[in-house]
Amino acid sequence: MADSATETFWTMVKDFETCMVVTRDGGKLRARPMAPRVLDDRSELLFLTERSSHKVDEIESDPQVACTFSKHGEYVSVSGRARISSDRQLVSRIWDSEAEAWLPEGKDDPNVVVLVVDPDQAEIWDVTTNKVKQAWEFAKAYVGDKDRPDSTEHKKVSL
């Protein structure tokens, strides 16, 4: 059974509609927005893409990737290894109307593949306090009572 930090990670990433996927292009890092999919029976981040895209070449050259998620006081950073899957059943399982808009040739197009990220480690920042407590924490930091506001829960998660 997964520990609570791992469960928190998977619960959080399921709620994000977009994340930045970072690959290495030679000596440079490249980030691009992608729509993550998470299936309950797989401990992976899944993204639909085209085999002909540059990110596929980048992943095949260096499979180390990072994914960053951000929304409304929740932040997640993931490090892991990526691979490309041509599994047609997997493509069908994660296909939706948004994918249809970005990949108009359809889910049966052999150019449509799944970028699979097997996460090694994640960091989670979750603003857990209400607005009044946040204001109090910021005020204490401002007047010198504290080095910085304490309004965020931060965890490192080994996956």
Q: 31: closest CA among 80, 63, 65?
A: 65
pLDDT range class, residue 45, cuts 50, 70, 90: very high
CA dihedral sign, ordered 10, 156, 76, 145: positive
Return the higher-pLDDT residue of 26 and 85: 85
Return the higher-pLDDT residue of 129 and 83: 83
Q: Residue 43 has which token pair?
A: 């401990």
* Confidence (pLDDT) at 72: 82
- Could you tell me what percentage of the chain is helix, strand and coil, using 3-state DSSP and rounding each to the nearest 5? 30, 40, 30
Judged by DSSP in three states, 37 sits in strand
pLDDT over 90 at 141, yes or no: no
What are the pLDDT digits (tens) for 66-115?
A: 999 998 888 999 999 999 999 999 999 999 999 999 999 999 999 999 99
Answer for the pair 117, 82: CB distance below 8 angstroms, yes or no.
yes
Q: What is the pTM of this model?
A: 0.81
Return the higher-pLDDT residue of 137 and 103: 103
The domain defined by 4-158 folds into Pnp Oxidase; Chain A (2.30.110)
* Confidence (pLDDT) at 140: 47
